[in-house]
Amino acid sequence: MSTQLNYDVVIIGSGASGMALALQLPTHTRIALLAKDSYQQCSTFYAQGGISAVLEQDDSFELHVADTQNAGAGLCDENTIKEVAAAGPAVIEWLANLGTPFTMDEQESSTSGYHLTREGGHSRRRVVHAADATGKAMHQTLNANIARADNIDIFEHSVAIDLIIQQQRCVGAYVYNRKNHQVNVFAGKKMVLATGGANKVYLYTSNPDGATGDGIAIAWRAGCRVANMEFIQFHPTCLFHPKAKSFLITEALRGEGARLLLPDGTRFMPRFDERAELAPRDIVARAIDHEMKRLGAECVFLDISHKSSEFIKSHFPTIYERCKEFNIDITREPIPVVPAAHYTCGGVMTDLNGHTDIQNLYAIGEVAYTGLHGANRMASNSLLECLTFAFTSARHILSTLERVTEPAPIRAWDESQVTDSDEEVVVSHNWDELRRFMWDYVGIVRTNKRLERALHRTHLLKSEINEYYGNFRVTSDLLELRNLVVVAELIIRSAMSRKESRGLHYSLDYPQLLEQAKITVLTPEQSSGKKLSLVE
């Protein structure tokens, strides 16, 4: 039996942006916080590096803006960068006041009191962190504060199917419960997508299993524009081991002097960029990809063993212990690493308040395109973006909530015309095929022919999946596959429209950089692919 639950604000996603938004709203606001899996299954929990913030006298907002724009290959929005950079100190102060256990500077060399690291693309040390598990510490702190809030109801194992639109405004969502298999209506005066990224569309990824692009897909189906979907960041260094599923080796290792080596022990990054291991991620990932293909190597190696054992264990305890589980002692030997899909730089288009094209619908965090990341995300800007837009969207929601009327009655989910599937193999087979051809054809290095092959396969899969969706009751695997194929098509079409190589998008057919930097904007009305607009 379908149920309708009514709230002031419904937040779909329980990562940093979703939780921060919930905590920013006043206690009289009735909030539903939907977690797709258990509460810990989000990208925030696995983030290692830290949060960018200008806190020292030798740093400035202008430098942070310049570094971000440089990493974004000239495609970042200047107003957005300024807003986010300026928010850095307030974000750190808010998190610290909530109880986030940031690592402090024991040497007392920083005026802020925090131990700051430097990562790829940064010209200064400005990354605040909690050892090498910042995301986990931050998530646990936010979670503890959420648990004490009487106005926030948490719904785990809840997967959004589609948004509900009435008179051109978003009034709710159909949500599938993975435990009891029931589809309920969550109605809200304000609806927020905080669903994270889409990198499970690739075979190899650093992301948790839930990163299937749900928010991007359902916003697209509802009528929202998306932008810059071709820019998928591949993290250069994920642990290469058959049993080490999706374990990221933080960029902070390279910030502290770790070197990338070929299987014979030769260092190679200085040949690709004068910044060597501290070059932006796209350059490092492409260099690793090039060397692996040139040599036919399964991986390369990241070596920090020239540092003292005490330094390594104190600064990178999580990585040390995790590698030790696989008999890799990082104090004495290099770590085998490979690139993996890591971050979705594009997404649902929003303004500086996190508001989308649809009235009363917001998108914050990795699901959103704000203009911050441009053609490449600078390290540790993502958590800062999550918090910044949680703050701005909370202010906008609060200032407009009283003017929003209750939605008209919403029709319950109808399963009267469908049956249980007797061919789940179709879902598992298509899931595997999709992720494999995306890795092979739409990966770190692209060509026109590879993209055309991928688009053709996407069309075939989309037809199969839509037919299956129309005939059988939904399952979480089917819903994720339905969203992944939409996201795959958006990535491919965006990549096909860009006739240059810029940032994370590298094409062998168009290796040069165009003089004018333009973002890629797709609208649902143009989903046939015949009309793709490029706007400044």
pLDDT tens sequence across 47-63: 777 999 999 999 999 99
215, two tokens: 């928010």
Any idea which architecture 425-535 has in CATH? Up-down Bundle (1.20)
Evaluate whether 100 touches 134 at the Cβ level (below 8 Å): no
C-beta neighbour count of 388 within 10 angstroms: 27
Q: Would strands 183-193 and 169-177 be described as parallel, antiparallel, or unpaired?
A: antiparallel
Question: How confident is the model at residue 529, as a pLDDT?
Answer: 38
Task: Compute the mean pLDDT over every residue in the chain, rounded to the nearest whole number.
Answer: 92
Contact 235, 250 (CB under 8 A): no
Which positions are annotated as active-site residues?
A: 281
Residue 158, pLDDT above cutoff 80? yes
Token pair listed for 529: 């692919």
- Whole-prediction pTM: 0.89
Is 286 exposed, middle or buried (CB count within 10 Å of its CB: 0-12, 13-18, 19+)? Answer: buried
Dump pLDDT digits (tens) for 399-414: 999 999 888 889 999 8
Same fold, 4-231+345-403 and 425-535: no
Total residue count of the chain as it appears in this document: 536
What pLDDT was estimated at residue 106? 79
For 223-251, what is each residue's pLDDT tens digit? 999 999 999 999 899 999 988 877 889 88
Residue 373 and residue 76 in contact, taking contact as beta carbons nearer than 8 Å: yes
Q: What is the mean pLDDT of residues 197-210?
A: 90
Share of the chain above pLDDT 90, in %: 79
The residue to which tokens 């009735």 are assigned: 30
Residues 6+ apart with CB under 8 A from 89: 53, 54, 55
pLDDT on residue 1: 61
Average pLDDT over residues 6-33: 97
Residue 196: pLDDT over 70:
yes
Least confident of 114-123, 156-165, 435-444: 114-123
The CA distance from 462 to 483, in Å, is: 10
DSSP state of 270: G
For residue range 312-354, list pLDDT tens digits in order: 999 999 999 999 999 999 999 999 999 999 999 999 999 999 9
Strand, helix or coil for residue 29: coil
Q: Which residues contact 474 (CB under 8 A, 6 or more apart)?
A: 161, 176, 183
* Per-residue tokens: 368: 């959103």
Question: What are residue 426's phi and psi, to 5 degrees?
Answer: -60, -45
CA distance 279 to 273: 7
Stated as kind and residue range, the H or E segment containing 255 is helix 252-255
* pLDDT tens, position by position, 60-73: 999 999 999 999 99
pLDDT at 460: 96
Binned at pLDDT 50, 70 and 90, residue 417 comes out as confident
Which has the closest alpha carbon to 287: 305, 276, 272, 277? 272
Q: Would you state the CATH architecture of domain 235-339?
A: Alpha-Beta Complex (3.90)
Domain ranges across the chain: 4-231+345-403, 235-339, 425-535
534 in Cβ contact with 519 (< 8 Å): yes
How confident is the model at residue 40, as a pLDDT?
Answer: 63
Question: pLDDT band for position 534 (50/70/90)?
Answer: very low
Where residue 527 falls among pLDDT bands split at 50, 70, 90? Answer: very low
Mean pLDDT of 100-113: 86
d(C-alpha 61, C-alpha 411), whole Å: 49
Instruction: Tell which CATH classification among 3.50.50.60, 3.40.50.620, 3.40.830.10, 3.40.50.10420 matches the domain 4-231+345-403.
Output: 3.50.50.60
For 420-429, what is each residue's pLDDT tens digit?
887 788 899 9
Q: Looking at mean pLDDT, say which of 120-124, 456-460, 528-532 comes out highest.
A: 456-460
